[in-house]
Amino acid sequence: MLTPHRVFKLKGISKMMKPVRKAILPVGGLGTRFLPATKAMPKEMLTVVDKPLIQYAVEEAIAAGVEQVILVSSRGKSSMSDHFDHSYELEQVLLERGKTEAYKSITEWLPEPGQVTVLRQQEPMGLGHAVWCARNLIGDEPFAVLLADDMILAEPGCLAQMIEAFQEYGGNLVAVEEVPRQNVDRYGILDVVEDDGKIARANGLVEKPNPDAAPSNLAIIGRYILQPDVMAELSNVRKGAGGEIQLTDAMARTLNRIFFRGIRFEGRRYDCGSKEGFVQANVAFAIAREDLREGVTDALREFCNG
Ligand code: UTP
């Protein structure tokens, strides 16, 4: 059933605000930093402990109340669609062999029929282009964007925290964190005008600035809640940093009319697009699990003591 539009309190004024019902997960990138692993396998199918990155992201979106997940994929990545479908032969064999836990591990989290839509980005023209490919499915509603390779260990999940803040503030809202100044050239960076320590409002955005010229070290990480106006701007932006269509450039074009805020979420982010971040995520997620904590901690201690 569709969520009815709710009346939210916005800066003291009651205003009809549409809820966030849809999430775009762009998964069409080449994953060059993870070659050779990503030669024949999508980066988003890399596993952290025992689940692929894409499953964590879809689960985070659904737990936050998202009704429709849109995977913007590309050629050669059909394993992702298969992952969100039944695997009848395997299910049958597991049931016959009495492997109930294994059976549950492949069925319990399956999305509702029709809840995951897959479309293709025909060329890897950047994150902004991937988001724009979903414009006809988004229509005129605010929507979330989750980058599956940014994994966030948090309870409640990062998107759920953002939706709570969005209900208060509206506008465009992104997840942010402070990064070392020498790394700002890897991120979209906020030019901050107001900051209460949790929510920072920006009047400027720069994609991958030079560390000397960066307006702050507050970086956008892979979670966004955006107004549909961004789609119209994406139709007009030209290729930016790295020869790609940048989402940051389109968001920057709405700053004159839509409030832009960053939220410092509670939780820890792991950049699973990098090898170091991916290994860290595996350790952190393993240690967060009761069944693995002791064995992994002991092994780490042994490695470290050499
Ligand atoms: P990245 O910047 O990590 O690019 O994209 P990438 O191609 O995945 O990886 P590298 O840098 O070559 O190693 C961030 C997110 O945007 C998606 C990616 O799949 C990833 O989830 N993306 C990027 C697209 O969907 N399409 C693109 O054209 C580019």
Q: In this predicted structure, what is the pLDDT of residue 15?
A: 55
Mean pLDDT of 64-87: 95
Nearest atom within ligand 1 for CA of residue 149: 21
pTM: 0.93
- For residues 51-66, average pLDDT: 98
In short, whether 61's Cβ falls inside 6 Å of ligand 1 is no
Cα of 26 vs centre of ligand 1, distance in Å, is 8
From 147, 269, 276, give the residue whose CB has the most ligand 1 atoms within 8 Å, as the site to mutate: 147
- How many angstroms separate the CA atoms of 270 and 90, rounded? 32
pLDDT at 265: 97
Ligand 1 in contact with 273 (CB < 6 A)?
yes
Task: Give the number of other CB atoms < 10 A from CB of residue 128.
Answer: 24
pLDDT of residue 156: 97
From the CB of 83, is ligand 1 less than 6 Å away?
no
Lowest mean pLDDT across 30-34, 250-254, 295-299: 30-34
Residue 242: the pLDDT is: 72
Residue-wise pLDDT for 202-247, tens only, equals 999 999 999 999 999 999 999 999 999 999 999 988 776 678 899 9
11-28 per-position pLDDT tens digit: 444 457 889 999 999 999
Residue 199 has pLDDT above 70, yes or no: yes
pLDDT digits (tens, 9 = 90+) for 143-191: 999 999 999 999 999 999 999 999 999 999 999 999 999 999 999 999 9
- Asked if residue 206 lies in contact with residue 231, where contact means CB atoms within 8 angstroms, the answer is no
pLDDT tier at 294, thresholds 50, 70, 90 = very high
Percent of the chain with pLDDT over 90: 87
9, pLDDT greater than 70:
no
Whether pLDDT at 54 is above 70:
yes
Distances in whole angstroms, Cα of residue 213 to Cα of each of 145, 182, 225 = 27, 11, 27
Q: Which of 242, 247, 201, 182 is nearest to 221 (CA)?
A: 247
Sign of the CA dihedral running 108, 114, 115, 117: positive
Residue nearest ligand 1's atom 15 by CA: 147
In the predicted structure, residue 4 carries a pLDDT above the cut 70: no
Span 264-271, average pLDDT? 97
149 and 28 in contact (C-beta within 8 Å)? no
Tens digit of each residue's pLDDT (9 = 90 or more) over 96-108: 999 999 999 999 9
**Does residue 188 have its Cβ closer than 6 Å to ligand 1?**
no
Q: Ligand 1 pocket test: which of 30, 129, 270 has the largest number of ligand atoms within 8 Å of its C-beta?
A: 30
Mutate to test the pocket of ligand 1, among 149, 187, 275, 278 (most ligand atoms within 8 A of CB): 149
Name the average pLDDT for the chain: 92
CB of 276 within 8 A of CB of 283?
Answer: no
109-126 pLDDT, tens digit each: 999 999 999 999 999 999
pLDDT of residue 166: 97
Ligand 1: distance of its center to the CA of 121 in Å?
11
pLDDT of 10 > 60? The answer is no
Annotation: CATH topology of 18-305: Spore Coat Polysaccharide Biosynthesis Protein SpsA; Chain A (3.90.550)
Instruction: Say yes or no: CB of residue 131 within 6 Å of ligand 1.
Output: no
**Averaged over 32-37, what is the pLDDT?**
92
Look up residue 196 and give its two tokens: 């209460």
CA distance 31 to 41: 10
Residue 141 CA, ligand 1 centroid: distance in Å: 24
- Domain residue ranges in the chain: 18-305
What's the gap in Å between 207 CA and the centre of ligand 1? 15
